[in-house]
Amino acid sequence: MRKFLMIGAAAVTLVGLGAAATAAQTPRNEAFRMVGLFGDVLGIVEQAYVVPVDDKKLIEAALQGMMTALDPHSSYLAPDGYGRLRERTEGQYSGVGLTISAEGGLIKIISPMDGGPAARAGVQAGDVISSIDGLSASGLTVSQVSEKLRGAIGTSVKVTFLRDGEDPNDVVLTRETIKIDSVSGRLEGDFGYLRISMFNENTGRELTETVTRLKSENPNIKGYVLDLRNNGGGLLDAAIAVSDTFLDRGEIVSQRGRKVDQIQRYSARPGDLSGGLPVVVLINYGSASASEIVAGALKDHQRATIVGLTSFGKGSVQTVIPLRGGQDGALSITTARYYTPSGASIQKIGIEPDLEVARSEAEARIVSRSNFNYTEAAYATALDASIGFERKGPHTPHEAPGETYDKEKDYQLQRALDVLRAGGQLAQLTAAPEGVVVTEPGQQMAASEPAEDPAN
């Protein structure tokens, strides 16, 4: 500790001498001055705070604060957090099955993991964690909340969730091993349904195996639905592998860094495992990052029709840099933006569907209201898109089930299958079935309340 403070003091002294010798300080000198200030503040806290402090926790919190000041997805990972990240990308970890992020002092759900405790309890993308075991979650970091949600397998945690227009919901979640089979599939009549819950090291292999299995079960299969709803993303390599499954050639995605020459492009290899059959991709506002890479690539190449709601809009690249081989944790730092093959930025904009369909009347109301429409663009510190486009604002989706529609049916999936029955051509799509509200731009759903004024 003393050595650290001496370094800080030395930095202050040097900067002071430099300021006397020059008319203006350089940015580097100013950085040294602030490092010295950090050491001074830490020393004062250590000596003057009302109770003894843990220096390590304070410094880790400062590192985390520094990274989150950059953007919502840059972070410092303590050694245990770095270990958990590696577990998740390898396809297995323990917990309650939630992908979360922080914004404005709130912890929000990006997506619940398929089949996990939270998903089974009805937790949805966009829900806010209000408290954990009776203690407020306000102001906690993602790492702190993750630590509280984790624990021994079989133990329980009580979490209070907030959802727009509803009373707080107390849910008791039992922790378990979350073994993620990232791909599942089944036949829906003459079509294959492919669900990808996240993108990990096994996703490409699992998708190939699932498509092969479905073709063996029905050699006359006529097309595929690729369901990426509430898929919060994962590994870039997995997103490329999934896109490559349905593409025979062409660029999949590019990433562009800080410098003009920092451009990296990823392209498909020859061979379309689906044999060129029609594909429909299902997305919603819980589809983020790798999900958006896949949807954007297949849309730009006119290889798939996109059905659902505009995706989350996370189009930034995070590079994980281990510190001292991981012994001191790691930095997950934003190093580039993603662009679709047409050159469109995903960041803050997302992928717009070809056929905009809400799964329920309640979901349509969320999209029509700005105060709870949870997207990347809602982050105060979100990286900009780098191009002159903006995400479509609050509006009523084109189609949404009304009060008379059978709530046991997955309306978005039904419309995806309708598109496949029409040969993948929206122009040949039949009209929405009875019990569904169809609106034109600017209209409000007959069954919904008017959008709220965000100032109220």
- CA–CA separation, 322 and 82 (whole Å): 8
- Which amino acid makes up residue 379? Y
- Specify the residue for token string 């509803």: 166
- Specify the residue for token string 């959008």: 451
Considering the candidates 108, 299, 314, 348, report the single residue annotated as catalytic.
Answer: 314
DSSP 162-183: E-TTS--EEEEEE-EEEE---E
Assess whether 3 carries a catalytic annotation.
no
- CA–CA separation, 315 and 37 (whole Å): 35
Question: Two tokens at 24?
Answer: 């203006």
Assess whether 289 carries a catalytic annotation.
yes
- CA–CA separation, 353 and 282 (whole Å): 8
- Which amino acid makes up residue 377? A
Considering the candidates 74, 111, 287, 289, report the single residue annotated as catalytic.
Answer: 289
Assess whether 314 carries a catalytic annotation.
yes
Considering the candidates 143, 300, 368, 448, report the single residue annotated as catalytic.
Answer: 300
- Order of strands, sheet of 183-188, starting from the edge strand that comes earlier in the sequence: 183-188, 191-196, 224-227, 279-283, 305-308, 355-356
How far apart, in Å, are the Cα atoms of 229 and each of 148, 161, 259, 312?
27, 20, 33, 10
- CA–CA separation, 403 and 400 (whole Å): 10
At residue 43, the 3 state secondary structure works out as: helix
Contacts of 191 (CB under 8 A, 6+ apart): 221, 222, 223, 224, 225, 417, 420
Cβ(298)–Cβ(281) below 8 Å: yes
Question: Two tokens at 407?
Answer: 């709530």
* Catalytic residue annotation: 289, 300, 314
